[in-house]
Amino acid sequence: MKALTLLSLLGCLITANKAKIFSRCELAYMLHEEGLDGYEGYSLANWICMAFFESGFNSAAEDDNADGSTDYGIFQINSRVWCNNYRSPTENLCHIPCTDLLSNDITDDIVCAKRIVQDPQGMDAWEDWTMHCKGRDLSEWVDGCDL
């Protein structure tokens, strides 16, 4: 009986931390609530566009890079500078384990993204944002989201 209870509890914990693929408007609402609309001069549409091209709105996205670093989470935050993956050298400027960026709770991803965009590069730190979003009409990314 105790083993069954323990297995049930373990299953609940795993489910609670399971990664998630957000819908466009669901992510827009969450980022709006967390104060990203207008943060450091970037509209909410910029953040949504960037997240789409970086991760496809997938909170568990993980991508290895040629330099040995890895990009993590919905914003593809890099381990070389921003988080600690405990495998490669890091500055860990967000003071966070990279694995924390892979859950469906993206609060820590947002806090770290806010830190990243404060640097002189701003959103140019995200190559996919520069290629796909920068300088474009991005209104479609928040259209119909009822914010």
* CB within 8 Å of 130: residues ≥ 6 apart: 123, 124
3-state secondary structure of 41: helix
Torsion of CA 96, 73, 106, 121, to 10 degrees: 70
Which of 54, 62, 64, 127 is flagged as catalytic?
Answer: 54
Quick one: the chain helix, strand, coil %, rounded to 5? Answer: 45, 10, 45
DSSP state of 21: B
Nearest Cα neighbor of 145 from 20, 18, 19, 33 is 33
Q: Is 26 a catalytic residue?
A: no
Residue 33 annotated among the catalytic residues of the structure: no
Q: Which of 71, 105, 128, 146 is catalytic?
A: 71
**∠ at Cα 74 (12, 101), nearest 5°?**
55
Q: How many helices (H) and strands (E) does the chain have?
A: 5, 3
Active-site residue set: 54, 71
